[in-house]
Amino acid sequence: MSRPHRERSWNAARPFATPCCIAVALMLTACGGTTRRASTPHSQTTTTAAAVTPRVERLVVADRGAVSMVARGGCVASVRTAESEVGTHDELRVRCPKPERMKRWFDGADRVIATLALEPVDEDLEEEDDVKLPTAKLLTASGKALRVAKPEDVAKLAAEVTALTAELAAAESVAPGPASADGWQMLHVMGPAQVLFAGTPARGVFEARVSTSGQYMCDFITNVEDEPMRATKSGWLTPQTASKAIDEVLGPFNATEAGETPKTTFAAGTKAGAEQRSNAISTAAVFERFSLMQDALGDACLPELEPPSTPPLGL
């Protein structure tokens, strides 16, 4: 008997969302902003970050075709329009480094921000068309929004964010880690998947790797409202959590038989540095467990994989 479908969704409150929704959310340094009709006030008081309490929790930089947000104690999210051989598509990338790396980055950012001239932002009065790009905004824990006043300071912060995203992107290659209790070093799944992007159903191809080192990488290619989109997320779990989860997910694993035709929908595990792919029946069982483990893994990989169809037993 097949399990009931569990509806999964990405929205602006999660690390993933539709490119349009998240771009607007990041530009406004808040999710689900209200409609704006009035003009931006021309008289604004310039202050410095040293006078801001509590501390800055989110930093947003935006230019035409690209928006990036860095969250203290969290992740770096970016939305951009990219070109490929098949045309233009939107890319949503979320990178979640180890907490100590993000802390070091914000320690340096705090020192820079404390020297900048800032302007208060009344988001209920500001229209999106009034925002001059490039721009940089800060959001405090109390919800107060501030804009960086000088273009040269915007460029300085943008360069820091670009350097951080480049560093994290360069370290996104997930490699097999130490052997788990069952001897596994890495989990690899790939197949058709479905998810809701801010209420819009989306179906595409999902691929994920999780290493016993704790590193993971997820990739989902789909179309949202007939527009091509690629959403990726990378980050780290604790090695203990990752190892236990991999052993649990790969519990029903059975490798393909010699001569069996490889499938594009599969589950795989790595032992002693060699990847083994599962047969069709155990792929469905592994997908089932992978789905059940996703919440425990912090929604690191949210789209729900569709198990492969298997031929009848002929009984």
Residue 80: what pLDDT?
86
Its pTM stands at 0.79
Residue 87: what pLDDT?
67
Are the beta carbons of 203 and 189 closer than 8 angstroms?
no
Which amino acid, 283?
Answer: T
The domain ranges of the chain are 10-170, 175-227+234-305
Residue 86: what pLDDT?
61
Residue 201: what pLDDT?
81
Residue 285: what pLDDT?
92
Residue 108: what pLDDT?
92
Element (H, E) at 290: helix 280-294
Residue 174: what pLDDT?
95
- Rounded to whole angstroms, how far apart are CA atoms 287 and 136? 42
- Rounded to whole angstroms, how far apart are CA atoms 192 and 194? 7
Residue 253: what pLDDT?
93
Neighbours of 192 (CB within 10 A): 16
Q: Which residues of the chain have pLDDT under 50?
A: 1-5, 11-43, 50, 52-53, 312-315
In angstroms, the Cα distances linking 253 to 57, 94, 176, 188, 264 are 43, 30, 18, 12, 17
- List the one residue out of 34, 15, 18 whose CA is nearest residue 200: 18
Cis preceding linkage at 134, omega within 30:
yes
Residue corresponding to tokens 């921000």:
113
Residues 6 or more apart from 111 whose CB is under 8 A from it? none
> 87-96 and 227-236: which strand pairing?
parallel
Residue 4: what pLDDT?
42
